[in-house]
Structure 1
Amino acid sequence: MQKFDNLGVEIAFTTLGNPVNPAILLIHGFGSTHANNWVEPGWADFLVEAGFFVVMFDNRGHGQSYKLYQADDYDVDKMAQDASRLMEYLDIGQFDVLGYSMGARISAFLALQIPTKVRRLILGGLGDNIITGTPEVEEIAAGLLAENLSDVSDKIGRMFRIFAEHTGADRKALAACIMSPRRVMTKAEVLQIKQPCLVAIGSVDDVAGDGNALANMMHDGEFLEIPKRDHMRATGDKVFKLGVAKFLA
């Protein structure tokens, strides 16, 4: 992977496809990496075949990017700035954005930060929790920091602990990330997102919140339900991919 420095934080990134094609930035979810979220489920190849220049990176604290251990280092505006400055570094003017879960939250704030650069927005695995807040952050952090998985009884805490172990993540960095100041987006801010936006959530996702409610709240939003998929299994689903392809056509 290539790397660039954003105010002392080294961000690892990679690109795929022809740089003359329209660009799309992919922002992965909490505890994941660009490879887990976008390469392994087939998203990167799918979007290249659809005619896009794909830009992917590991969020700070994740994958091959720099690890930080203070909650304030994971403020959503700082994480969105990592994304915007990466696109500046690559000299990409306008681009679409696809984010999943935490990556969708970052994507929404990115659209507010640089509205003239973000063309279209896809929020996967995130509904109205962007307004109401993410539940069980303390349970997730406790699950990540527990000495053993057997010590974790909370359902959501266990889910993220298992995922972190699967990806080989730095669990202390992830705990700092999940305990960051959880600034929610106000309804007024949601209405400031003028770009066309697709909200896509699994029908049995118990983490994301209400996707239809968020889409209806937006200036130009639409909702895609991914049948029989929970928060983890919706990521690479065919219905999700085809819905995104239709939205971006």
Structure 2
Amino acid sequence: MDGSTVTDGSTAAGTAMTAGKAATADAVTAEAVTVRGVRIAYETAGDPRNPAVMLVHGFASNRSANWVRARWTGPLTDAGFFVIAPDLRGHGESDRPRRLSEYALARFRDDLLAVLDDQGVGAAHLIGYSLGARLVWDLAVRHPDRVRSLVLGAPAVTGSFAGFDLAAARAALAVEAPGVGRGGEADAVTARYVAMMRGVAGNDPHALARLAEAQRRAGFRPRAAIPRQPMLFAAGTEDPLAPAVEELAAELPHASFVALPGRNHVTAVTSREFKAAVVEFLTALD
């Protein structure tokens, strides 16, 4: 954006990206785009001539763990959608800057828009889970012309990273051995986030701690600015966030809610009911 977005020619599509898309409509393609010096990795699947769906993963996860291994790609491409799945900055194969300012909401907006631009997509359906849901909400509010609809899995509608203590997290990361969940004198909330940071092999917990703090400072007050696009909310019945998510959905005439029986915040993404509800929601719009 503002002249700072550059495509990465080392991707599987290479410099012949456009021709490759036409020739490999059903292939999974790994690609990347650089935004203000930060490389954002992503992959695509399906026919790029079809309506686009972007999958935005949660905190301390990545596109593979949240979506690919949870088998979201197949149902969406089979239903006639072109799937785009980025690794958020700080996660997966994307760069992990350690400056707190690099995790402002505006940076994530720029990243997601750059990925859409790199694929020549004007507007897409957005599916976000947890942190991803918060980010796609923000994108839909700020750039409504780029968003066709929203699927919001377990967003923290009562506050994003509420209770996270950056100083305590840094102290915990300084003294813990890798793989240990709780750290030092960290409170229970911060200790849980530290465990999440270390829960996926290859994560950079120090970068993720800065991300968590940046998002805590930004806050999330969804009722202050509501996207106008059709929305589907979802949450597991065993997720403590579910009642607040369902309450918000009930307040919005252009939103619906699906409860995922027996699922919690971690297991909801693998739910067949979740995938089926999303496919039904999206196909009704296209």
Using the size of structure 1 for normalisation, the TM-score is 0.89
> Does residue 189 in structure 1 map to residue 225 in structure 2?
yes
Q: 1:87, 1:106 → 2: CA distance?
A: 15
Alignment root-mean-square deviation, CA: 2.2
Matched to 2:51, the amino acid is: P
Offset of residue 90 of structure 1:
1.3
Matched to 1:184, the amino acid is: F
> Does residue 13 in structure 1 map to residue 42 in structure 2?
yes
The residue number in structure 2 matching 1:227 is 261
Q: Report if aligned partners of 1:28, 1:58 keep a CA contact under 8 Å in 2.
A: yes
Offset of residue 223 of structure 1:
1.0
The residue number in structure 1 matching 2:161 is 134
> Does residue 36 in structure 1 map to residue 62 in structure 2?
no
Match of 1:171 among 165, 184, 205: 205
Q: Report if aligned partners of 2:236, 2:268 keep a CA contact under 8 Å in 1.
A: yes
Offset of residue 155 of structure 1:
5.1
Q: Report if aligned partners of 2:38, 2:95 keep a CA contact under 8 Å in 1.
A: yes
Displaced runs of 4 or more, over 3 A: 150-166
> Does residue 70 in structure 1 map to residue 102 in structure 2?
no
The residue number in structure 1 matching 2:13 is none
Offset of residue 133 of structure 1:
4.0
Q: Rg: which structure is higher?
A: 2
Matched to 1:196, the amino acid is: P
- Identity of matched residues, %: 31
Count of aligned pairs: 245
Q: 2:257, 2:141 → 1: CA distance?
A: 20
Using the size of structure 2 for normalisation, the TM-score is 0.79
Matched to 1:201, the amino acid is: A
Greater relative contact order structure (CA < 8 Å, 6+ sep): 1
Q: 2:242, 2:190 → 1: CA distance?
A: 15
Q: 1:91, 1:150 → 2: CA distance?
A: 42
The 3-state SS of whatever aligns with 2:92 is: coil
Please list, as runs of the form range in 1=range in 2, the aligned pairs for 1:50-199 lying within 5 A after superposition: 50-129=79-158, 132-138=159-165, 142=169, 145=173, 147-148=176-177, 149=180, 151-152=182-183, 156-157=189-190, 159-168=192-201, 169-180=203-214, 181-190=217-226, 193-199=227-233
Deviations 1:21-74, CA, capped at 9 Å, x for gaps:
110011010000000111000011221111110001110011111111122211
Matched to 1:170, the amino acid is: D
The 3-state SS of whatever aligns with 1:37 is: helix
Offset of residue 2 of structure 1:
1.7
Q: 2:245, 2:42 → 1: CA distance?
A: 29
Q: Report if aligned partners of 1:101, 1:126 keep a CA contact under 8 Å in 2.
A: yes
The residue number in structure 1 matching 2:6 is none
Q: 1:140, 1:121 → 2: CA distance?
A: 34
Deviations 1:66-109, CA, capped at 9 Å, x for gaps:
11112221112211221012101211112100000000000000
User: Where in structure 2 are there 5+ consecutive unaligned residues?
Assistant: 1-29
Q: Report if aligned partners of 1:16, 1:55 keep a CA contact under 8 Å in 2.
A: yes
The residue number in structure 1 matching 2:25 is none
Change (3 A) 1:150 1:54: closer
Worse overlay, 170-179 or 217-226: 217-226
Q: 2:80, 2:73 → 1: CA distance?
A: 11
Q: 1:35, 1:176 → 2: CA distance?
A: 22
> Does residue 217 in structure 1 map to residue 244 in structure 2?
no
The 3-state SS of whatever aligns with 2:224 is: helix
